Amino acid sequence: MKIATWNVNSLRARADRVEAWLERSDCDVLAIQETKCKDENFPWELFERMDYEVAHFGFSQWNGVAIASRVGLEDVERTFPGQPTFGKGGVNPEQEARAIGATCNGVRVWSLYVPNGRALDDEHMPYKLEWLDTLKANAEAWLDTDPAAQIALMGDWNIAPQDDDVWDIDFFIEEGLTHVSAPERAAFHAFEEASFTDVVRPLNPGPGVYTYWDYKQLRFPKKEGMRIDFVMASPALASRVTGAVIDREERKGKGASDHAPVIVELAD
């Protein structure tokens, strides 16, 4: 079975590319982030004609997550328990469409779009850290309940947990940028301490192995990227991994997302 995660940066704008990629990749389950649409304008027909079931969670032209599966789609959850809300200045906090879970052929898949901290002193940063801490607490509880559970926490984590996950760590530190700060990295590593494993890195070692390249300043042709998209697997699921690849080719060409798909192959 092949499972994958991909921040498509607007599903409707890239529907043709997503359809072509699904056909080419022969992927069984795809966790999607940044659909940027509501349920009523989600391109359901794209997946239906390719025999994928799909669950979507979206409120507006921002955020949005989905799971498409051709091996079953059961027990859909929109948000994880206690998922934090956000409101600018603490006013009218609302739930954002950043997490959706479903069971696909025995694997509990979560498509996650972790909040971007924006700046080290921005109010989005404590929101991001609280969001991750709450998710981690849930993940620990799921494993406590069933240590043999097959769980995939997949998506755009908006964190580069190691120095070689960015093209120039000195640049990030000197500019005081997010994604590489100690609190963000600690929040990521907390999942490893909770027995979840980055199953892609061992098969795609860095440096220079990225999943995201900003549209600005010719980052992609300059090979100035970041590794911020991950598949974090529970022990039972990690033991099934036979292969993993970052599809860098999909970042090329007109109309590409700024993220590349990340694919993991599982033994039966």
For residue 242, report the phi and psi dihedrals to the nearest 5 degrees.
Answer: -115, -15
Structure confidence at residue 136 (pLDDT): 98
Phi, psi of 63 (to 5 degrees): 60, -140
Specify the CATH number for the domain of residue 152: 3.60.10.10
Annotated binding site: 7, 34, 156, 158, 258-259
Sheet with 53-57: list strands edge to edge. Answer: 53-57, 65-69, 29-33, 2-7, 262-266, 241-246
Annotated binding site for Mg(2+): 7, 34, 156, 158, 258-259
Give pLDDT, residue 89: 81
Q: Which domain holds residue 150?
A: 2-266
**Residue 122 annotated among the catalytic residues of the structure:** no
Q: Is 212 a catalytic residue?
A: no
pLDDT tens per residue, the chain (268 residues)? 999 999 999 999 999 999 999 999 999 999 999 999 999 999 999 999 999 999 999 998 889 999 999 999 999 999 999 999 998 888 778 999 999 999 999 999 999 999 999 999 999 999 999 999 999 999 999 999 999 999 999 999 999 999 999 999 999 999 999 999 999 999 999 999 999 999 999 999 989 999 999 999 999 999 999 999 999 999 999 999 999 999 999 999 999 999 999 999 999 9
Q: Is 164 a catalytic residue?
A: no
**How far apart, in whole angstroms, are the C-alpha atoms of residue 158 and residue 119?**
12
Q: Which of 28, 56, 113, 179 is catalytic?
A: 113
Q: Quote the number of domains for the chain.
A: 1
Q: Which of 28, 156, 165, 229 is catalytic?
A: 156
Nearest CA among 78, 84, 86 for reference residue 110: 78
Count of residues making up the chain: 268
* Catalytic residue chosen out of the listed positions 127, 179, 212, 259: 259
